[in-house]
Structure 1
Amino acid sequence: MNAESRPFPPVTPHVPVSPPLRRLAVPAGLLAAVAGAFAYVGAVDPNEPGHYPVCPLYRLTGLYCPGCGGLRSAHAFVHGDLLTALRDNALGVAAYLGFAVLWTVWVVQSVRGRPLRLDPRPGHLWAIGALVLVFAAVRNLPSGGWLHP
């Protein structure tokens, strides 16, 4: 069989590695989107009525969902008021910090040319789900008033 009659070209063993800047394009794009969202929430105060919609669960039932107070928390966080951010939504502040850590690990892995591998075990996912449910339940109890947004 000659080279012209082969159905597929020969496989080359060398795969070119993308330059570091190209590997950082997606993490940088995500950071730009998140920074833009935080900048908007920082500029447009959610404490003033009419800028953002009311939480549908709160409007229909009067119960706070795990995300209630998240915009006010982000606004306070952007302005450097960590105590107010924690008061408005402590779980949100933990999520902001978790995102920062995860994003940093992603960038370091990208610079090293390695993919970010997230392989949480089912126990970890169940624990996160339980934490969110407990947070939602406690903030709606009379004794959980300190978690109200």
Structure 2
Amino acid sequence: MSVPALSPSLQRWLPLATVATLAVGATLVLHNVDPYAAGNPLPSCPLYALTGLYCPGCGSTRCLYSLVHFDLPGALAMNPLLVLSLPLLLLMLLNGAGIRPRLFDPLMRLLAKPMFWLIVLVGYAVLRNLPWAPFTGLAPG
């Protein structure tokens, strides 16, 4: 039995619609569940639990919780890279849906390179684990 092919317009908008649906669901959860509360049902970082090292995503749940509650300083304290990356991720999604303002072409070429993200994420993981200022400000909390 073969699966019918999706129309090109549906293929174009499906990733954006999927992310939008997940974002609404995450917003509803984070509006009602406090990740700062002891015993909350949200998962913690397995890498941190096993090694004591912060990964690039450590603090993301608390960061998003703070953003949902309009607490930008709290969000930046938990995961500044995520806060700075959210607009870039939105641009990438819109680009994938065919919305491509010429102004952002050079930026989109950079963001489309996996090596860029590898360097940013690995570099951020290393820097946020360094034990002296100003790098301690990158650690969650």
Same fold judged by TM-score > 0.5?
Answer: yes
- Are positions 1:35 and 2:53 aligned together? no
CA, structure 1 residues 42+60, in 2 after alignment: closer, same or farther (shift >3 Å)? same
Matches within 5 A, 1:1-149: 24=13, 27-50=16-39, 51-107=41-97, 109=99, 124-143=113-132, 144-149=135-140
The residue type paired with residue 47 of structure 2 is L
Cα distance in 1 for residues equivalent to 2:12 and 2:128: 42
Contact (CA 8 Å) 1:42, 1:74: kept in 2 or not? no
CA, structure 1 residues 25+61, in 2 after alignment: closer, same or farther (shift >3 Å)? closer
- With the length of structure 2 as denominator, give the TM-score of the two structures: 0.71
Q: Which structure would you say has the larger Rg? A: 1
- With the length of structure 1 as denominator, give the TM-score of the two structures: 0.67
CA, structure 1 residues 104+121, in 2 after alignment: closer, same or farther (shift >3 Å)? closer
SS of 2:43's partner is coil
Cα distance in 1 for residues equivalent to 2:110 and 2:93: 16
- Structure 2 residue runs without a partner (length 5+): 1-6, 100-107
* Residue equivalent to 1:5: none
Q: How many residues align?
A: 124
Cα distance in 1 for residues equivalent to 2:12 and 2:127: 42
The residue type paired with residue 137 of structure 1 is V
Cα distance in 2 for residues equivalent to 1:22 and 1:132: 29
Identity, % of aligned positions: 34
CA, structure 1 residues 131+96, in 2 after alignment: closer, same or farther (shift >3 Å)? same
CA, structure 1 residues 22+125, in 2 after alignment: closer, same or farther (shift >3 Å)? closer
CA, structure 1 residues 62+119, in 2 after alignment: closer, same or farther (shift >3 Å)? same
Deviations for 1:69-106, whole angstroms, at most 9, x for unmatched residues? 00000001111111211110012113322222233344
Name the Cα RMSD after superposition: 3.0
